[in-house]
Amino acid sequence: MQMNTTGKMEKKNKLLVELQLKTAALTKKDIRDWRNAWQMAINIEHPNRSRLYDIYSDVIADGHISGAIDQRKKMTMQQSFKLVHSATGEELPELTQIFETKWFKDLLEHILDSRYWGHTLVELGDVILRGKVKTFENVKLVPRKHVIPELGLVTKEPGDDPKTGIFYRDVPYSNYLIEAGDFDNLGLLLKCTPHQISKKNMAAFWDQFGEMFGMPMRIAKTTTRDPQELSRIDSMMESMGPKQWARFNEDTEIEFTESGTKDSFNVYDKRIERCNNELSKILIGQTMTLDSGSSLSQSQVHLEILNRLVASDCDMVKDIINDQLLPLCHLHGIIPSTDVRFEWDETLNLKPDEQIQIEQMLLTKYEIDESYFIEKYNIPITGKTSLPTGTNMKLDDF
């Protein structure tokens, strides 16, 4: 939908403008940091998730974790949806079109992120006109470090005394806010963190091993004690390239000792592989849809497990939209009635071969209005064709 005119319909009390955003420090994290941050987050008197979210920011940068999350989220985002009348179930295409916009897709992303980050608070933008239709201008994530969901508060700075916070569940702030995830939910990244830290450490150890034993070392032996001669030898060794080198006295003995297992590759690679498997199980319930599987039957079972998780995500999204978003849309005049319900459109998610089989079965038993095929395939149909008796036309015949 192209925007002909854009006019502000309402100006709200913005929650985000009250916050003083702080740049997250990228520091090395370990298991002790994770446990301490977890303890701070569940503190009954003064819960503070700031340090835990700093750790999550490091964890989410892992390629395997981000890939698993992206796979699961996209399976939900690609689902078709519709708005229907609550009583009759009849689709309301003019309302469905209002939600086929960027702000709604961004909202879905934030809602799904609550599975991984825990409780998520999203602020709806100003109500504007796009053409002749009211809609929200955008949506924005309220920075998680500022939110204390256990108390329903937002603080101006992370870690501030809760007494100075804003009760965001009160009007007028609540008229523009969507909450996803339980107030005490810390997300799946909490379980991912120890595995990711172990994986990161093993990768670093492997790099160190490769630096030490994967490249040949140049050794210069000399008996001279002349500083100028020693400096000349050092310069010569340095100029030969970036590989390791050393200068020793002629009678110096050097010995490099590797692990007694004689299989350093498996020491590191197998540990990283095990970490990745555990991360896959946490995020997508199995391993084969992200990594290669051993058989088709096993991969189908694993795909079914992922589908069940996606179905659960879809159900969560539907509840939040119906219970929170649609009432706010009616409050701001975006939808005209409260008798509207959000549904996932299951009929449009069939595979092409499944859709063809259903259509062929219906055509053999019922007369189908030609307008169905005209609208669906955008093909002008001028009439029925006549074929000789006994002729069976197939797609391969064309």
Say if strands 166-167 and 153-154 run parallel, antiparallel, or are unpaired: antiparallel
pLDDT attached to residue 105 = 96
Q: In which residue are the tokens 């700075």 written?
A: 157
pLDDT attached to residue 144 = 95
DSSP 270-309: HHHHHHHHHHHHHHHSSSTTTS--S-HHHHHHHHHHHHHH
pLDDT attached to residue 219 = 65
| Angle of the 264-284 helix axis to the 189-213 helix axis, nearest 10 | 160
83 near 99, Cβ under 8 Å? yes
pLDDT attached to residue 267 = 80
The letter for the amino acid at 23 is T
* pTM of the predicted model as reported, rounded to 2 decimal places: 0.73
pLDDT attached to residue 394 = 46
Q: Tell me the pLDDT band of 29, cut-offs 50, 70 and 90.
A: low
pLDDT tens across 332-387, in order?
999 998 999 999 987 655 566 667 777 777 778 777 777 777 766 767 777 776 65
7 near 129, Cβ under 8 Å? yes
Q: Give me the residue spans of the domains in the chain.
A: 1-214+271-349, 352-387
pLDDT attached to residue 263 = 62
pLDDT attached to residue 287 = 72
% of the chain beyond a pLDDT of 70: 73
CA gap 114, 131 in Å, rounded: 33
Angle at 346 between CA 345 and CA 349, to 5 degrees: 100
pLDDT attached to residue 140 = 96
pLDDT tens across 213-272, in order?
655 666 666 777 778 877 877 777 666 655 565 665 565 555 555 555 556 677 888 888
CA gap 298, 5 in Å, rounded: 54
What are the backbone dihedrals phi and psi of residue 180, each rounded to the nearest 5 degrees, phi first?
-130, 135
pLDDT attached to residue 12 = 60
Q: Tell me the pLDDT band of 324, cut-offs 50, 70 and 90.
A: very high
pLDDT attached to residue 25 = 47
pLDDT attached to residue 229 = 76
pLDDT tens across 171-184, in order?
999 999 999 999 99
pLDDT attached to residue 382 = 74
Cα–Cα separations (whole angstroms), residue 178 to 136, 141, 175, 265:
13, 10, 9, 48
pLDDT attached to residue 351 = 60
Which residues are CB-contacts of 155 (< 8 A; sequence separation ≥ 6)?
A: 146, 148, 161, 162, 164, 165, 166
The mean of the pLDDT values for the chain is 81
CA gap 53, 38 in Å, rounded: 10
Q: Lowest-confidence range among 29-38, 60-69, 88-97, 256-265?
A: 256-265
